[in-house]
Amino acid sequence: MAAVDLATHPGHLARRLQQAHHLLWNTMVSEEITSPQFAVLNTLVAEPGLDQRTVGERVGLDRSTIAEVISRLGRRGLLDKVRDPQDGRRFLLRLTDDGARIHRKLTVRTARMNQVFLAPLSAEEQTAFFDLIRRVADAAEGLRNPTEPLLAQG
């Protein structure tokens, strides 16, 4: 049996890309706030007062992961949960002053990190890269619950 060319395996390349992103994030942005945590902070800057489920949908995190991220940010004093006046079972999320301050600081750092991360690509290639990777990521959302015929093919 011959070895496969991993350069043609999107999962392998996505893992390598994620490793590079993780390294740059930790060295250029923050060792304390993770990329998913930043995504939550960023979402609440854009849309204050969302509930946990909606924030999770916006940033592409499953229910258990978003619950943990929200819990960690709350323990750090970066966001507050307030009971929804229209639905007492639901909590709405808002950044604290510290959360907004951290977001502002990290936004500058993420911009610099993205410049380094994308430096191998021209401006046109960056646009194409974002279009392609977004299309694949959006399509992958539909693969969370693959149908039985897809599983049977493997």
151 in a domain, yes or no?
Answer: no
Kindly list the distances between the CA atom of residue 13 and the CA atoms of 3, 45, 113, in Å, as whole numbers in the listed order: 16, 32, 20
CA distance 77 to 98: 7
153 in a domain, yes or no?
Answer: no
Q: What is the pLDDT of residue 76?
A: 97
CA distance 8 to 14: 11
86 in a domain, yes or no?
Answer: yes
Q: What is the pLDDT of residue 113?
A: 98
56-94 pLDDT per residue, tens: 999 999 999 999 999 999 999 999 999 988 888 888 999
CA distance 130 to 75: 34
Handedness of CA 139, 14, 105, 102 (dihedral sign): positive
116 in a domain, yes or no?
Answer: yes
pTM of the shown model: 0.86
35 in a domain, yes or no?
Answer: yes
4 in a domain, yes or no?
Answer: no
88 in a domain, yes or no?
Answer: yes
CA distance 33 to 102: 9
Radius of gyration of the CA atoms of the chain, in A: 19
Quote the tokens at residue 147.
């149908």
Sequential DSSP letters for 29-53: I-SSS-HHHHHHHHHHHHSTT-BHH
Q: What is the pLDDT of residue 88?
A: 84
CATH code, domain with 88: 1.10.10.10
CA distance 10 to 4: 13
Quote the tokens at residue 61.
């995190």
Q: How many domains does the chain have?
A: 1
- Residue 44, domain extent: 20-143
1 in a domain, yes or no?
Answer: no
